[in-house]
DNA sequence: AATGATCTTCGACATTTCACGAAGCGCAGA
DNA sequence: TCTGCGCTTCGTGAAATGTCGAAGATCATT
């Protein structure tokens, strides 16, 4: 299970609960969907069972975000302790199989972060641009699989996600094709990071294409795993 | 803008805010992304501007779901009053262009609803099964476009969404192909509704296929617009 | 520098949430 | 039928939210 997918599922559930007119009912719907009893949920949270009941019955009409977060966390943790079948099942519903092979990770920060801060963290070398823009999230895309398997529509979706986000391409050979792909789509990320390439080997065309769309480009030789781990760990 | 997409975007935003360690920061991120000033947001909510500031600065650490919901609503309402460019932009990011043509509407209820109640509302005729199951949402799929344009992966995604959901196929000619498609995918919705067909014209194979997977099938001659409107209006 | 517009900080106070535990309800199984 | 077990209801107190309005801080414009 990719962390990005887990997170997106959690957001979906939390969002549904939050937006519901009766958060308690929504809460109950998800708890029962996960086949978790009120008692074990309460146990896991360290509450008495009456608390769960109070929420679900609507005596507490508007639970705070902290409580909703804790409950969703517990739902996931309990399910994962049981093998994670529900989390997996519902994640499958949220994502096409393609996303699995193309998007390595994807995350939204809770506030805008300077590009420089992000690139510094994962030892990037600047190829062009000044790194003074801000991004609110990142997407790690497997370049090879993206080019091999995505339909034009799906391409747009990946890039579409990238407004105000850093787009990290893994295992690039020269960086040319990712930049060409960006050139021909309507959405432009403020920042592109080419992974798995030394800055001396970046194709000269990359800079030209990037300047055309005012995108700042970096390269990094850190491993994909390291990058994902470092970015995840950061409190943004 | 399809109501289902608007809703999903709202859920994504609300979920991100709710799960954030600092809901205030997330709130601010989205407000500024929508290019809405604290003042006009406060105006629209009928609050004083200090309230917004208190949330965003973190003085109120865990806003209730009611407040988060109101704020997300206002963000959307203000943007839509200005032409809806942000809602549209972010929705585009959330969905592939394909979804537009294939999924007419999609909604999650806040609790489980008996199939019978849903089918009664839109004047369905039962073709097989007893209608005693429960569903927690529905998906309205354009059958023709689904078959014409979807890749196998995307098919899975549509059907995948349908565990514990009613799957409504529009403009079916005999109902055979939708049922065949369901037969060959691993996920089985508890209930399938064939729209735009008289129950006498439903292909006999439909019942056989449905019984095989214990799916109850209905037909309805109501228009797609009416169906969507009725289902949306209902407080589930 | 002075003006305004906008955003932030803060004290105050009513309303809710949050969490407990005791008591009550409902149901599966002995 | 009775016994548990688990869920729900409810009174209670401490803590936090929800909201206001006044006063202070920022900052672009004049």
More confident residue, A11 or B213: A11
More confident residue, A32 or A148: A32
pLDDT at position A180, please? 79
Q: Which residue has the tokens 């909604």?
A: B107
What span, in angstroms and rounded, lies between the C-alpha atoms of A206 and A169?
13
Nearest to B65 among A68, A72, A160 (CB): A68
What is the least distance, in Å, from the CA of B129 to any CA of chain A? Answer: 23
Nearest to B15 among A15, A23, A89 (CB): A15
Residue nearest D22 (alpha carbon to C1'):
B50
Q: Is B22 on the interface with A (CB under 8 A)?
A: yes
A110, B26 in Cβ contact below 8 A? Answer: yes
Confidence at A7, pLDDT banded by 50, 70, 90: confident
What span, in angstroms and rounded, lies between the C-alpha atoms of A142 and A2?
14
Alpha helices (H) along A150-236: 152-160, 176-184, 204-212, 224-233
Q: Which residue has the tokens 């203000």?
A: B78
Give strand C nucleotides closer than 7 A to any protein Cβ: 6-11, 16-23
The helix (H) or strand (E) run that includes residue A111 is strand A103-114
Predicted confidence (pLDDT) per residue in A34-92, tens digit = 889 999 999 999 888 899 999 999 898 899 999 999 999 999 999 988 887 788 888 87
Whether residues A13 and B15 touch (CB distance < 8 A) is answered with yes
Contact list, B136 vs chain A (CB under 8 Å)? 29, 33
Q: CA of A55 vs C1' of C24, distance in Å?
A: 19
Nucleotide in closest CA–C1' contact with B62: D17
Backbone angles phi, psi at B116, to 5 degrees: -55, -35
pLDDT at position B153, please? 61
Which of A110, A158, A167 is the mutation pick for testing B, counting most B CBs within 10 A?
Answer: A110
What is the least distance, in Å, from the CA of B61 to any CA of chain A? Answer: 8
Confidence at A235, pLDDT banded by 50, 70, 90: low
Q: What is the mean pLDDT of residues A182-211?
A: 85
Q: Which residue has the tokens 């506030």?
A: A111
Q: How deeply is B35 buried, as exposed, middle or buried, from its count of CB atoms within 10 A (0-12, 13-18, 19+)?
A: exposed
Helices A65-81 and B3-19: crossing angle in degrees, nearest 10, is 90
More confident residue, A218 or A189: A218
Domains in chain B, CATH or no CATH each: 3-94 (1.10.260.40), 97-233 (3.40.1390.20)
Q: What is the mean pLDDT of residues A159-186?
A: 78
Q: Which residue has the tokens 């600047």?
A: A126
Whether residues B65 and A62 touch (CB distance < 8 A) is answered with yes
Q: What's the alpha-carbon Rg for chain A, to the nearest Å?
A: 21
Cβ < 7 Å from strand D, A residues 45-74: 49-50, 52-54, 56-57, 59, 62, 64
Q: Is A33 on the interface with B (CB under 8 A)?
A: yes
Which of A14, A17, A65, A92 is the mutation pick for testing B, counting most B CBs within 10 A?
Answer: A65
What is the least distance, in Å, from the CA of B29 to any CA of chain A? Answer: 5
* 3-class secondary-structure state, position B90: helix
Q: Is B96 on the interface with A (CB under 8 A)?
A: yes
Whether residues B33 and A111 touch (CB distance < 8 A) is answered with no
pLDDT at position A208, please? 86
A150, A122 in Cβ contact below 8 A? Answer: no
Nearest to A12 by CA among B16, B189, B2, B73: B16
- Residues counted in chain B: 236
B143, B167 in Cβ contact below 8 A? Answer: no
Neighbours of B76 (CB within 10 A): 18
pLDDT along chain B (236 residues), means of 10: 78 92 89 89 89 90 91 91 82 66 79 85 88 83 74 63 80 83 75 91 88 89 89 73
What span, in angstroms and rounded, lies between the C-alpha atoms of A83 and B30?
35
Residue window 38-57, chain B: list those with CB within 8 Å of chain A.
none
Q: CA of B135 vs C1' of D17, distance in Å?
A: 35
Q: Which residues contact A34 (CB under 8 A, 6 or more apart)?
A: A75, A78, A79, A86
Confidence at A236, pLDDT banded by 50, 70, 90: low
Going across the sheet that includes A166-170, the strands are: A103-114, A134-142, A166-170, A191-195, A216-220, A125-128
Among all residues of chain B, which has the CA nearest to that of A158? B93
Residue window 124-163, chain B: list those with CB within 8 Å of chain A.
136, 151, 153-154, 156-157, 160-161, 163
What span, in angstroms and rounded, lies between the C-alpha atoms of B192 and A9?
25
Q: Which residue has the tokens 């080419």?
A: A194
Sign for the pseudo-dihedral over CA of A56, A60, A62, A63: negative
Chain centre to alpha carbon of residue A99: 12
Contact list, A71 vs chain B (CB under 8 Å)? none
Q: Is A93 on the interface with B (CB under 8 A)?
A: yes
What span, in angstroms and rounded, lies between the C-alpha atoms of B215 and B207?
9
Chain centre to alpha carbon of residue A89: 18
Among all residues of chain B, which has the CA nearest to that of A71? B19
Sign for the pseudo-dihedral over CA of A92, A97, A98, A101: positive
Structure tokens at A29: 């719907």
pLDDT at position B134, please? 84
Among all residues of chain B, which has the CA nearest to that of A73? B19
Predicted confidence (pLDDT) per residue in A95-138, tens digit = 665 566 778 888 888 777 888 888 888 889 999 888 788 888 88
Structure tokens at B64: 């209730």
Give strand D nucleotides closer than 7 A to any protein Cβ: 6-11, 16-23
């Amino acid at each position: 299970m990719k962390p990005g997918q887990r997170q997106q599922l959690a957001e979906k559930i939390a969002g549904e609960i939050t937006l519901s007119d009766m958060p308690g009912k929504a809460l109950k719907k998800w708890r029962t969907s996960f086949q978790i009893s009120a008692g074990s949920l309460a146990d896991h949270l360290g509450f008495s069972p009456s608390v769960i009941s109070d929420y679900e019955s609507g005596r507490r009409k508007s639970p705070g975000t902290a409580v909703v977060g804790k409950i969703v966390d517990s739902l996931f943790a309990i399910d994962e302790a049981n093998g994670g079948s529900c989390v997996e099942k519902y994640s499958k519903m949220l994502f096409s199989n393609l996303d699995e092979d193309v998007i390595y990770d994807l995350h939204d920060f809770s506030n805008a972060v300077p590009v420089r801060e992000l690139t510094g963290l994962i030892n990037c070398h600047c190829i062009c641009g000044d790194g003074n823009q801000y991004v609110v999230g990142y997407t790690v895309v497997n370049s090879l699989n993206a080019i091999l398997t995505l339909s034009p529509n799906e391409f747009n979706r990946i890039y579409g996600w990238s407004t105000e986000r850093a787009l990290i391409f893994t295992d690039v050979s020269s960086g040319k094709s990712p930049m060409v792909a960006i050139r021909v789509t309507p959405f432009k990320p403020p920042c592109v990071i080419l992974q798995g390439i030394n800055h001396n080997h970046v194709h000269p065309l990359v800079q030209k294409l990037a300047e055309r769309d005012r995108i700042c480009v970096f390269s990094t030789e850190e491993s994909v795993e390291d990058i994902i781990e470092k970015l995840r760990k950061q409190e943004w």
